[in-house]
Amino acid sequence: MADKFRVALSGDFKKPDGSPTFPDFDLEPLKSAPGVEMAFLPAANPIDSRHLADFDALILLVPRFGRESVPPGGRLSVVARFGVGYDNVDVDACNEAGIAVVITPDGVRRPVAVSILTLILALTGKLRIKDRLTRAGPAGFNQRAEHMGSGLVGLTLGSLGIGNIGAEMFRLAKPLDMKFIAHDPYADRAVAIDLGVELTSLEEVFRRSDILTVNCPLTQETRHLVNGERLLLMKPNAYLINTARGPIVDQKALTEALTRRRIAGAGLDVFETEPPAENDPLLKLDNVVLTPHALCWTDQCFAGNGAADVKAVIDIQQGRVPRGVVNRKVLDDPRFQARLKAYAARARA
Ligand SMILES: NC(=O)c1ccc[n+]([C@@H]2O[C@H](COP(=O)([O-])OP(=O)(O)OC[C@H]3O[C@@H](n4cnc5c(N)ncnc54)[C@H](O)[C@@H]3O)[C@@H](O)[C@H]2O)c1
């Protein structure tokens, strides 16, 4: 076994001028960890397997880690994604090679939940319209009584999914005195009970929510879970908020519902195609608040993702199983277990 635990960062963590892409990602704990060495990979998409031959860990931003990226020699133990999406990682190829795939739920939980609250408050407070009125001078100002917002006390906040982010949204919304409901076929009931969230059927969450938020992953089962038929179940004064993944919502059907004022409005951080086309009719609507899949991008979010990835790779270097492993069956793979044992022995030496 080599004498150092070597960590690679995908080349896009550096800008072309060599400065860090995300200055809030603190690499100091990695640089100063005893027995650890780190290096940036040359820019490549997908990741080039030849660049990874001498590394134990990869921290990955945007490039794809495909089957062709798996380096020969069996040294690589972990691919740690910066964030919780891992559609750019070929998990099957990682399973076959005994490589753990790690994500950073602890980094995004609070920032995305805060984004959802931001959209709830912006929509119900008519923030966008009132900003426009004020900028229009006295004529706009004098129209303010025509744009009454909606108070939240007693309204029903609904969620499709009560996992990492959905639960945190309810946790943060507690003082708003709303009713909480969620549909989640795989819900942890204890979490729902603890947060005072009533679990409902899919149809009910559409019918009863005044604000319906999307907090489930994009899977075959959830693609277009929010479709034209279900949008028709919603109250005319209800809002839809999607910060999860664009294709969970049939965007054409949503645009139609918004145009016909079948629902009051929508807050969207994600889109079926990103970025949306310049002539997308959704961009013309005045009852939507739109953000470029980045409402949660804050100094704290990026620092949190970075810290979680650094912790995960140092856990492995110390022979410990990190948090956030997506492909848990790798933990039983004899090759992964042997590497972990060898790391632990070296860390103790
Ligand atoms: N906008 C952003 O920048 C951003 C950042 C991070 C995460 N996200 C997205 O937020 C979403 C939630 O992330 P998370 O960390 O809470 O994930 P999570 O896996 O912790 O929770 C997802 C929940 O959805 C539930 N679920 C699965 N299938 C469902 C279905 N058919 N109907 C209803 N619920 C279902 C799961 O049981 C789980 O409880 C994901 O789509 C993720 O990609 C977006």
Tokens of 207: 């019918």
Single out the catalytic residue among 293, 320, 323, 346. 293
29-55 confidence digits (pLDDT tens): 999 999 999 999 999 999 999 999 999
For the question of residue 293 being annotated catalytic, the response is: yes
The CA distance from 172 to 209, in Å, is 18
Distance 215 CA to ligand 1 centre (A): 4
Q: Is 132 in the pocket of ligand 1 (CB under 6 A)?
A: no
Q: What is the CA radius of gyration of the chain?
A: 23
Q: Is 217 in the pocket of ligand 1 (CB under 6 A)?
A: yes
Task: Pick the closest to residue 60 from 103, 107, 23 (CA basis).
Answer: 103
Bond from prior residue into 23 cis (ω within 30 degrees of 0): no
Q: Is 244 in the pocket of ligand 1 (CB under 6 A)?
A: yes
48-75 confidence digits (pLDDT tens): 999 999 999 999 999 999 999 999 999 9
- Ramachandran quadrant class, 80 (left: phi over 0; alpha: psi -120 to 50; beta: rest): beta
Mutate to test the pocket of ligand 1, among 103, 104, 215 (most ligand atoms within 8 A of CB): 215
Atom of ligand 1 nearest to the CA of 186: 37
Task: Pick the closest to residue 264 from 97, 169, 126 (CA basis).
Answer: 126
Give the DSSP letter of residue 185. Answer: T
Please name the amino acid found at residue 105. P
- Which residues have C-beta within 8 Å of that of residue 219, sequence separation ≥ 6? none
Residue 252, CB-side half-sphere exposure with 13 Å CA sphere:
1
Single out the catalytic residue among 110, 245, 272, 339. 245
The CA distance from 189 to 197, in Å, is 9
Mutate to test the pocket of ligand 1, among 61, 110, 165 (most ligand atoms within 8 A of CB): 165
Residue 229 Cα to chain centre, angstroms: 27
Per-residue pLDDT of the chain (349 residues), as tens digits, is: 778 999 999 999 999 999 999 999 999 999 999 999 999 999 999 999 999 999 999 999 999 999 999 999 999 999 999 999 898 999 999 999 999 999 999 999 999 999 999 999 999 999 999 999 999 999 999 999 999 999 999 999 999 999 999 999 999 999 999 999 999 999 999 999 999 999 999 999 999 999 999 999 999 999 999 999 999 999 999 999 999 999 999 999 999 999 999 999 999 999 999 999 999 999 999 999 999 999 999 999 999 999 999 999 999 999 999 999 999 999 999 999 999 999 999 998 8
Q: Is 94 in the pocket of ligand 1 (CB under 6 A)?
A: no
Atom of ligand 1 nearest to the CA of 221: 31
Mutate to test the pocket of ligand 1, among 61, 62, 84, 269 (most ligand atoms within 8 A of CB): 84
